Chains A and B, each alone.
Chain A
Amino acid sequence: MDKVNPAGILLFIYVMAPVIGLSANAVGQIVSFRSMPKMGLLKSIYLGFSAGLVTVIAVDILYWKCFYALFQRMLFPGIANVFIYAVLGYCYFHFVGLGETARRIRMLGEIYGSRDGLSLKEILARYNADEIVKKRIARLLGNGQLVYKDGRYFIGRPVVLFIAGTVMVLKLLFLGRKREADRGTL
């Protein structure tokens, strides 16, 4: 049987650093949220992302330390590792966000939890526009994106407004309309 090549194993770990980082991200996020639920989901995502980033950088440094002669050749692949990890971290953030805010995921969950499927009336009794709007307004007020004063809503911090503007530009660019409702099929 061939001897295992330690340099080969280390190179494999080096290439897989973003995936190892993603695992550390998920574990860090889940453990931190479970142990400190009051911190909120968003902070647990930041914490998980930081844990993953530290892991990727640690693997990069470990590899450079073991193969110092290759440092110059392996510097850019190390930077690429961090870049790949950041993109994977963004995907994980989206995954958590989908579970938290996506309407389809919520409705799939409601149907999954029922014994015999659900009629439209039953779906709307469990999940409807009223609940959707209330939840989102509570989130927007909670993070300061909206301000409520004298029975009226005002824009608070402009971050989500900026995102809304960017999405609208992209909608116009790709679909030629500002809103889904503009296609007139609702």
Chain B
Amino acid sequence: MSILFYTLSLAGLVFLTHLAIWRIRPPKKQTAALLKIFLFTLVAGTSLLFIFPGIVRWDILPGRNPFEIVQFFLLFLSIAAAYIVSYPAIEVDSPTLLIINAVFEAGPQGLEKGRLEGMMSDEVLVIPRIKDMLSDNMVYLDGERYRLMPKGLAMARIFSAYRNMIRGVKGG
């Protein structure tokens, strides 16, 4: 139980740190900044177990045996991954949620079909994501053509391999 307690407490600390930094000034590369917060917390949290072994006796922290340390690492890293993959939903506008909000805001009379489609342009849904790919070093502009950088190539390959495995059609 101490593993769950300690790891969830550290995750809570990450949440508060995230909130504090973002309220002061959101970093330009938000995912990278989140990754740094998680790594720092993991290193600090692990160090605490070894620097102050006395508090382990309170039975609220994992012991220092390899089994508990590995389980603590696994739990912390999986929470970090879940947190980081969920964050873009806050950072950028999801078209699905924009549609749902637009229909909700139209009230009980509903939203006219043509109006909904007119509200969503390439400038709102596509261009900002291309700018993100440029700033995240996934693509670069070569004259007028967008080409993949190593990071973008790796991501494209991973998802292409998965799509081939499930024999799926193009997403988006």
A62 at interface (Cβ–Cβ under 8 A)? no
Report chain B residues within 8 Å CB of A11. 67
The answer on a CB contact under 8 Å between B104 and A155 is yes
A61 at interface (Cβ–Cβ under 8 A)? no
Report chain B residues within 8 Å CB of A88. 78, 81
CB proximity to B under 8 Å, residues A94-131: 94-96, 98-109, 111-112, 116-120, 123-124, 127-131
B43 at interface (Cβ–Cβ under 8 A)? no
A42 at interface (Cβ–Cβ under 8 A)? no
B111 shortest CB reach to chain A, Å: 5
A2 at interface (Cβ–Cβ under 8 A)? no
User: With contacts A101-B171, A174-B19 known, is A180 near B26, CB below 8 A?
Assistant: no
Report chain B residues within 8 Å CB of A94. 82, 85-86
- Chain B contact residues: helix, strand, loop or mixed: helix
The answer on a CB contact under 8 Å between A111 and B152 is yes
Tell me the bound Cα distance from A180 to B62 in angstroms.
41
CB proximity to B under 8 Å, residues A136-186: 136-137, 139-140, 145-146, 148-149, 151-155, 160-161, 163-164, 167-168, 170-171, 173-176, 179-181, 186
A20 shortest CB reach to chain B, Å: 12
User: With contacts A15-B67, A91-B82 known, is A118 near B110, CB below 8 A?
Assistant: no
The answer on a CB contact under 8 Å between A175 and B147 is no
Q: Which A residue sits closest to B144, measured CB to CB? A: A119
The answer on a CB contact under 8 Å between A107 and B168 is no
B37 at interface (Cβ–Cβ under 8 A)? no
Report chain B residues within 8 Å CB of A123. 126, 130, 146
The answer on a CB contact under 8 Å between A140 and B99 is yes
Tell me the bound Cα distance from A130 to B89 in angstroms.
21
B100 at interface (Cβ–Cβ under 8 A)? yes
A58 at interface (Cβ–Cβ under 8 A)? no
B19, B92, B99, most chain A CB atoms within 10 A: B99
The answer on a CB contact under 8 Å between B117 and A107 is no
A133 at interface (Cβ–Cβ under 8 A)? yes
**19 more A-B residue pairs beyond the given contacts A100-B171, A160-B96, A180-B91, with a C-beta to C-beta distance below 8 A:** A19-B74, A77-B68, A80-B3, A90-B82, A94-B85, A95-B85, A99-B171, A105-B156, A108-B139, A108-B148, A109-B156, A111-B152, A124-B126, A133-B99, A133-B117, A137-B99, A161-B104, A164-B101, A180-B92
What are 7 A-B pairs with beta-carbon distances under 8 A?
A30-B166, A83-B75, A103-B126, A105-B155, A107-B130, A164-B97, A174-B26
